[in-house]
Amino acid sequence: MPPSRSTQNCLTVLHGPVVILTGAQIAVAHRLVLAGSRYLQGAGMPLRSAERAVVSELQSATSDMRAQHQRHHRHLDPTTGQESPLTADELAQQRGLSVRTIQRQAKLYGGWKHKGRWLFPADLRDTEGNLL
């Protein structure tokens, strides 16, 4: 009996090891695969159909992940009773780092951009207002 196939953002693996990528790992893998494909194309070597399929699937997964992230944070409103997210300035001050360092490491802290500003999850702050 052949393996079942799912057409929603996944590659069909018929044999060999399986690697599951989530979150930022998908974006990193996509960037590395794009760099490799550009190198091959620059060297005059065309991509095979399987290689193009991997690039396409990673592009689709990355796009879906970004769209989901944007939908999740689109209607961010601190007046809804939820604890407001931390800004880069607040996080930098409480961590003892520069704002620029926090901005460079934003993804490590779970940050997201909203209207051009980096925001960070409120759960980084404990009940006394200190960062965990």
d(CA 58, CA 4): 20
pLDDT tens readout for residues 109-131: 889 998 899 998 887 774 454 44
Region 81-109: what's the mean pLDDT? Answer: 86
Q: What residue ranges do the domains of the chain occupy?
A: 24-73, 83-124
pLDDT tens readout for residues 35-93: 888 888 889 998 888 888 888 888 888 777 777 766 655 545 545 546 688 899 988 88
**Contact in structure between 109 and 120 (CB atoms under 8 Å):** yes
Q: What is the pLDDT of residue 104?
A: 92
Q: What pTM, to 2 d.p., does this model score?
A: 0.40
First-to-last alpha carbon distance for the chain, in angstroms, is 51
Q: What is the pLDDT of residue 2?
A: 45
Residue keyed to tokens 């409103």: 77
